Amino acid sequence: MAIGSHGGGGMRFCIIAACTVALLFATSPADAAKRVALVIGNNDYDNVPKLQKAVNDADAISKELAKLGFEVVTAQDVGRRAMSRALVELEGKIGAGDTALVYFAGHGFAVDGTNYLLPVDVPGAGPGEEGLVKDASFAATGLSDRLQEKGAGTVILILDACRDNPFALKGKRAIGMTRGLTRMDPAEGMFVLFSAGQGQSALDRLSETDANPNSVFTRTLLTEMKTQGQSMVQIAKKTQAKVRELAAKVDHVQVPAYYDQIVGDLYLSPDGASAAGNVNTLQEGAGESVLPKQGQKVAALTSAMAPLASFTRSNSGWMVNVSLPEAATQFGYRVGETGSFTDPGFIDALDQRTGARMPKTYFEMPPDQGKTTIYVTWRDKRGEQAEVFPINFDPTGALAGEQKSLLEQFWTSWIAFREFQGMKVYFTHLITYRCAIHEVRYGYDDGPTDKVFALPPCDPADPHGVPEKATIWMNVPPKTAAMSVKLTYVDGTQSEARKFNAPK
């Protein structure tokens, strides 16, 4: 993630929300609580219209906040994972009574009375698919709630996201509001400023020849932020009047709205704030290894995003194949609770989804590998790292599962007839995969499968080998036309009774 910017052709929207239990900056700089900020700018959307100025606006806000003495973490063109990590990064900096600020520039979306902030990897959606957007985005009210729960004495939320509905299709019904975001009813201690009124869209630029790098709202807001001594109400009122005047010049209606639930005066620009500031840039996926550090938090497994693993046993050891839920540009794994992650490298093939070489998502383990947990992670096509996912490995269950799958898939090979000094039937195939089988029953012609063929015990050290003294065949009664075979597996399930015709 990097310093972001704001923008796009068309319209957009912004909120400033501030929550405090006391007057902001009421004490002297020496006694004031720490001030931290997260600034996000998203332009490069995958499935909805791209924007032009979101990165510029977020960059300008970030620099101005730093001048006001905020420790600023910034993120640019980030998907849901990176946005979540950035928010967690901010939460980790918050102490009791601190001031926390979040600024978001990008696409916003209002549905069912809730405003959502869209990461760049939000999926496209149509009527009836609101859940896709909700699950892949961030509810604006949820952000302020999280920061308050961390103990911040003051929370400032700035959302510049009120453009036309990014999911609208010409001539078709769209999900959500046609344009802009819906109003927010802030709790006590919050201050909310929208870059446009409810249902209005905010201008990125006054015309195609407008060379200002920032949106109409943000350029105005920045000017007021630089004026020391103004309360948030004064900043809001002046921004409201100037934006309305600028928009009217191009016959557009845009009137920022604000909602003040602060008791007393709230100041963003205190006297004596450091002019140097402190900006920390999170560069997601830029030259970082995919391999997480020891102790990185393991993801909570979800069926939607969890990878799948299959295990194949040979005499040389175990082959582990991991199937990822999305396109990846890098893959890493670790066997067990300690040690470093390993990057197995790449195969000599390009993935058309990413335009890059495909990472190897398979690796080997020794034949005597015991029961353990395997941890895997990867980077998606945007370079954002997935969480660390655990995969349980039980060699006994893995061997039985693999062999059962092969037995069911290739059941026509279970037995084989051979005529040599009478008719004989061979059970070699079943012996080879005996580690998955609890019992083999068979019967002749249309009779019941009530006879048992005894298999040698499973040898985990040589699971596919046929013991030298094992009984692998038996004679078949004369005039036998067919045999039926039914397996009971070690997991307690049973196969169908398979019929095999004897040669005529």
pLDDT at 309: 95
Question: Does 281 or 275 have the greater pLDDT score?
Answer: 281
Give 276's pLDDT tier (boundaries 50, 70, 90).
very low
Question: Does 270 or 424 have the greater pLDDT score?
Answer: 424
Give 9's pLDDT tier (boundaries 50, 70, 90).
very low
Q: How far apart are CA 452 and CA 315, in angstroms?
A: 29
Which residues of 367-471 form beta strands (DSSP E)? 372-380, 389-393, 416-419, 423-426, 437-444, 451-453
Q: What are phi and psi of 38, to 5 degrees?
A: -120, 125
Q: How far apart are CA 419 and CA 431, in angstroms?
A: 20
Which residues of 161-262 form beta strands (DSSP E)? 190-194, 202-203, 257-260
User: Of 65, 76, 85, 78, which is closest to residue 119 (Cα–Cα)?
Assistant: 78
Tokens describing residue 127? 């009527």
pLDDT at 282: 55
Question: Does 326 or 109 have the greater pLDDT score?
Answer: 326
Q: How far apart are CA 202 and CA 218, in angstroms?
A: 10
Give 170's pLDDT tier (boundaries 50, 70, 90).
very low
Where residue 8 falls (left for φ over 0; alpha for ψ -120 to 50; beta otherwise) is left
Question: Tokens 């059970």 belong to which residue?
Answer: 427
Mean predicted lDDT score pLDDT of the chain: 83
Assign 3-class secondary structure to 448-480.
CCCEEECCCCCCCCCCCCCCCCCCCEEECCCCC
Asked if 137 contacts 124 with a C-beta cutoff of 8 angstroms, the reply is no
Q: 287-308, pLDDT tens digit by residue? A: 455 566 555 555 544 445 689 9
Question: Does 177 or 104 have the greater pLDDT score?
Answer: 104
Fold entry, domain 308-393: Immunoglobulin-like (2.60.40)
Q: How far apart are CA 380 and CA 171, in angstroms?
A: 34
Q: 130-167, pLDDT tens digit by residue? A: 888 888 889 988 888 898 889 887 788 888 876 666 77
Q: How far apart are CA 108 and CA 165, in angstroms?
A: 8
Name beta bridge partners: 452.
441
Q: CA-based angle 53:55:57, to the nearest 5? A: 65
pLDDT at 24: 41
Q: How, if at all, do strands 202-203 and 71-76 pair? A: unpaired
Q: How, if at all, do strands 498-501 and 202-203 pair? A: unpaired
11-281 belongs to CATH 3.40.50.1460: yes
**Taking every pair of C-alpha atoms in the chain, what is the biggest distance, in angstroms?**
107
Q: 413-454, pLDDT tens digit by residue? A: 999 999 988 899 999 999 999 999 999 999 999 999 999 999
Q: How far apart are CA 123 and CA 79, in angstroms?
A: 11
Question: Does 458 or 97 have the greater pLDDT score?
Answer: 458
Tokens describing residue 120? 């760049």
DSSP structural state of residue 32: S
pLDDT at 21: 36
Does the structure show a pLDDT above 70 at 11?
A: no
Q: How, if at all, do strands 35-41 and 99-105 pair? A: parallel
Q: How far apart are CA 106 and CA 120, in angstroms?
A: 9
Q: How far apart are CA 424 and CA 69, in angstroms?
A: 89
CA 280 remoteness from chain centre: 23
Give 91's pLDDT tier (boundaries 50, 70, 90).
very high
Q: 348-389, pLDDT tens digit by residue? A: 999 998 889 999 999 999 999 999 999 999 998 888 888 899
Q: What residues have CB less than 8 Å from 473, skipping those under 6 apart?
A: 418, 424, 425, 426, 427, 428
Does the structure show a pLDDT above 60 at 87?
A: yes
Which residues of 106-145 form beta strands (DSSP E)? 108-111, 114-117, 138-139
CA dihedral 215, 220, 222, 226 (to 10 degrees): 170
User: 44: number of CA atoms within 13 Å, CB side?
Assistant: 9
Residue 288: count other Cβ atoms within 10 Å of its Cβ.
12
Domain boundary assignment for the chain = 11-281, 308-393, 398-501
User: Of 200, 211, 103, which is closest to residue 157 (Cα–Cα)?
Assistant: 103
